[in-house]
Amino acid sequence: MLKQLKLDAAAEKNIKTWLRGKYDQDTKDQLQQLIDSGNVTQLTDSFYKNLEFGTGGMRGELGIGSNRMNRYTVGAATQGLANYLNKVFEGQEIKVAIAYDSRNYSPEFGQIAADILSANGITVYLYKALRPTPQLSFTVRELGCNAGIVITASHNPREYNGYKVYWNDGSQVVAPHDKNIVAEVNAITNVKDIKFRGVKKRIKSIGEALDKKYLKAVKSIAVSPRTIKKQKDLKIVFSPIHGTGITMVPAALAQLGFENVTVVEAQATPDGNFPTVVYPNPEEKEAMTMALELAKKIDADLVIATDPDSDRVGMGIKNPEGEWELLNGNQAASLIIYYLLKAWKKAGKLTGKEFVAKTIVTTDLIDAMAEKAGVKCYNTLTGFKYIAQVIREKEGQETFIGGGEESYGYLIGDKVRDKDAIASCAMIAELTAFAKQKGISLFDFLSEMYKQFGFYYEGLVSVTKKGKTGAEEIQQMMADFRANPPKSIAGSKVIRMDDYKSLQRKDFKTGEVTEIPGGKLGIENSNVLQFFTTDGTKFTCRPSGTEPKIKFYIGVKGKLKNKSEFSSTLASLKEKVASIVTELNLG
């Protein structure tokens, strides 16, 4: 039957391995049923390659097959990680913390990982129920673990699950450990090499004690407890979108002193099928619809929602017409930093040794605000692990205030070393209380920021180029931009190009080529180009590292004289971004 299907050679080879190898009978029966059904497409997709374990872990659709998330692909990843840990920390007691989210099979995969690590002589701290990703980051450091694992596919559709690896500082793995772990995982070529039989005495169950410590850490980030006390009745609507946020966000807000939090009940129960949304992603308006409708019904002051593993948060505010709008990631990150810098200054906490951090594709408004406050702003490559790397490099020398990235991930304080939607929800609630105490709305607060520092607006164009030909096209596009950089963008002269592949900066006015400042701090060589113009426009080209895409980020800037011109100014900036897309032929 298998030969009659005329499968891809690699797929056929992998299928034969699964049929003949030391796989459980239920898996073999399911595979045989799939073969008997004659579904060539599904068989090919499931077996044409091994699910790639990248530098941060892996992510894929659930199901049987070498290219799917299942006990065997999770097993190979964990065995490779165990082998690496035993090499690096030879002769030491090795400890690993594991957490998982609400996705289908997350608890099972967490237990499988725990069993395999314990079978390899490693002590495991396994959460007894689902917990947020940032709490795992905190736990790694709190328990002095050598590594951590989170079973999650973040905000991907319900068909997916994934596996993220953390190092002993609580951040996702960076060089050299990332590539070394990948090599060890790829070396697992036979299912017999995976030690599935766990050692119970090496697996420690954790829960309430770590919850209390994590919540205490979240509470410690509050800058103005007095403001919170005065605005304890602030009306907050929260949705965990069927994820882990329900375990910590309401508790964190209550601990800070907020007494009027309304949870979207239809989305409160953790459920890996995410029954009320198409995508469990707070970046999508559809996923936020129920929260926004509830906010309108009760006349709330704030809407917040977290993704399944609670590392990202979406935020809704009322406009002057009383309608609810969602802030994008750049706006929310800017508002958080704007408030933090104000609050730290008022509290007398700015000493000249503080810093914020963001990625190079995140709004430059944060740089402008930090400069005005006398606070350093470090820019890193895309990926929160690089922000965590800066925090680690500066530990004991400078104090981290907060940071973020345009993709809805923010961090306040250094107790956690990854995006933290729990702490972000707490800080967003605090800044909302601050605005209300001043007698202004969040929209007024946003307008105040833009009036003071300029109205920054960012657009994103993502172009998909599939297959070998597509990959070649993307490389050619990057080569063309390097060889023939635009002389002007939207009528404004290009004055500088930053090339993160060479870590070199070219000044087009003088022709001088220098190293990108701070280039070695949280920055690796990466195929990214940025162009800057005289009017403050920033244009970034970045091929995706995980998808067949090239992304173009466009940042423009205008002036906001008063909040009544907010809509017209925003419309003008959007038009400018659209004209740049056409001018540079990015569509």
Rounded CA separation 95/82 (Å):
11
**The token pair that represents 96 in the structure block:** 């690993």
Residue among 349, 362, 454 nearest 401 (CA): 349
Q: Calculate the alpha carbon distances from 198 to 64, 115, 176 in Å.
A: 22, 4, 29
Residue among 583, 359, 280, 287 nearest 461 (CA): 583
Identify the bridge partners of residue 237 per DSSP, sorted by sequence position. 262, 303
Phi, psi of 506 (to 5 degrees): -115, 125
Rounded CA separation 77/79 (Å):
6
Rounded CA separation 136/455 (Å):
37
Identify the bridge partners of residue 356 per DSSP, sorted by sequence position. 377, 402
- Give start and end residues of each alpha helix (H) in 94-157: 106-119, 133-142
Give the largest Cα separation in the chain, rounded.
76
Rounded CA separation 512/310 (Å):
45
- Tell me which H or E stretch contains 246: helix 245-256
Rounded CA separation 169/146 (Å):
8
Please identify every residue annotated as catalytic. Answer: 154
Residue type, 125: Y
CB atoms within 10 A of CB 480: 11
Phi, psi of 165 (to 5 degrees): -110, 135
413 three-state secondary structure? coil
Rounded CA separation 297/506 (Å):
54
Rounded CA separation 342/230 (Å):
18
Q: CB-based burial of residue 36 (10 Å sphere; 0-12 exposed, 13-18 middle, 19+ buried)?
A: exposed
Which is it for the CA torsion 45, 46, 49, 55, positive or negative?
A: positive
> Are 460 and 551 spatial neighbours (Cβ–Cβ below 8 Å)?
yes
Residue type, 414: D
> Are 215 and 248 spatial neighbours (Cβ–Cβ below 8 Å)?
yes
Phi, psi of 136 (to 5 degrees): -65, -45
Contacts of 39 (CB under 8 A, 6+ apart): none
Which is it for the CA torsion 187, 192, 196, 198, positive or negative?
A: negative
Looking from the CA of 435 toward its CB, the CA atoms found within 13 Å total 25
Q: CB-based burial of residue 289 (10 Å sphere; 0-12 exposed, 13-18 middle, 19+ buried)?
A: middle
Residue among 314, 358, 318 nearest 337 (CA): 358
